[in-house]
Amino acid sequence: MEIMTFNIDEDRRNLVDDKQNFNIDFHDSKYNWLQARQYEESMRQVEVHVVHGNGSPVDLTGVNPVFEGWLPEGLYRIIDAKHSVMIDAQNGIFRFDFPAPAFQIAGSYKQAFFRLMKDGMSVTTLEFSLDVMADKVISGLVPSDYMTPFEDLYLKLKDYIVKSNGDFDTAMTQWKKDVANLITGLNDDIGGINLTITEIKTQLASLEDKIKADGLATVADLTNMLNPIIDRLDKLEAKEKSSDLLTDVGGGIRDIFTGQISNMKARINPDLVNIGMINDVHYTDRDSFWGPDNDAETGITHLLNIGEVSEKLDFAVSVGDNIDDNNKDNHFSIKRIEDYGMTWFTALECPAAVLLGNHDDNSSHAKSSGATGNDYLVPDSKFIQAYRQNVNLFGEKRNGNSNYFYYDIPNKKVRVVGINDYENPN
């Protein structure tokens, strides 16, 4: 068994010069390497040691090593989360048993590494050189993507059908739940989603042929069963195409938030009640009051952040001080309110509402400046229109066009109550 030792503090490799073809040069790097023959399986094992710069072991307690690779010729990928065995976690040692799909194409891997996952996050990657020697004597494997999460899922479907004694409705109901959970677990990585879409469509086509041949369901029944899944796949395909629709709002989601958003999405448990809340955005379009960072000017982009996780939320609410007050008449305040409402209800994909704070109607500034009359104040009619209080988009209950409301989350026996809580009643 080959032993690989990775120093997570000091190991390095040269950057890729040919970015278009992405050919990694290990020539001047002191790097781990592995060589195998096409179609080898199980016996090709490596023992991996992970250490710090001073040679002390890295504690791998709670870590799941995943092998990920871009196969020779650059057409297929492998993500294997089930063939690692933790030998001594506290001393940083695990074993990986490479499956046959890892050696299906002869040549040098475009890229190969172990990704160490913990609590749904990528802790580090351990990169190495992987060469597959040709086997001209035998052949048999058809090249393809190999993703163990989906392979496990497809085996589940076949098992469900057997256990349900041909009751396809029952089997498909359970499998659709598993499909949804798998897609959720991909952390919305576009590349991973596209691979999953391709695999699911291939397996669904095969399943459809089998069902028709065996007479397990009529064509009409099959169409009704598959339509919700196909609709979900179409939405996933559209997600990549529409991912830039909101980039013109304040410059889009800022780079500093992308990693945090992905981590948050991975942690959301769909079996629990998930309510998103945002407050004190203080969105404004004046850049002199808040200093050079313009934090409030870019505040509206925070709505895009919560929008990115909203498909996993049961409800979302913005709880006040959505915009900043204004030292002139209400003209600019009304404009910001309209910006806020349009962005909020466009970006979010879950039931949602907007509540008010003491800055939203501009009365706090009018009070502090001693202004009189209604020219400073934003009338209720503007909030009713901008925050959709007159249409009840999601079945929420209001007192006429009131800002306050309640909303019952379906199937979870939880009621959300929104209160119009004005902080400066005098």
**Percent residues over pLDDT 70 in the chain:** 60
Task: Round to whole Å and give the CA distance between 66 and 113.
Answer: 8
Closest CA to 115 of 19, 57, 50: 50
Q: Note the pLDDT tens digit of each residue in 181-213.
A: 666 665 455 555 555 566 666 666 666 666 666
- Domain 2-144 class in CATH: mainly beta
* pLDDT, mean of residues 233-257: 61
Looking at the structure, give the CATH architecture of the domain made up of residues 255-418.
4-Layer Sandwich (3.60)
* Euclidean distance between CA atoms 161 and 157, whole angstroms: 6
**Residue-range domain boundaries for the chain:** 2-144, 147-241, 255-418
Cβ contact 156:204 at 8 Å = no
For residue 34, report the phi and psi dihedrals to the nearest 5 degrees: -140, 140
Higher pLDDT: 149 or 338? It is: 338
Q: Is residue 243's pLDDT more than 50?
A: no
- pLDDT surpasses 50 at 19: no
Q: Residue 99: its pLDDT value, please?
A: 84
Average pLDDT, the chain: 76
Higher confidence at residue 370 or residue 331?
A: 331
Residue by residue, DSSP assigns 208-257 as HHHHHHHTSS-HHHHHHHHHHHHHHHHHHHHHHHTTTTTTTSTTSS-HHH
* pLDDT value of residue 91: 93
Confidence class for position 216, pLDDT limits 50, 70, 90: low
pTM given for the model = 0.43
Residue 339 pLDDT: 86
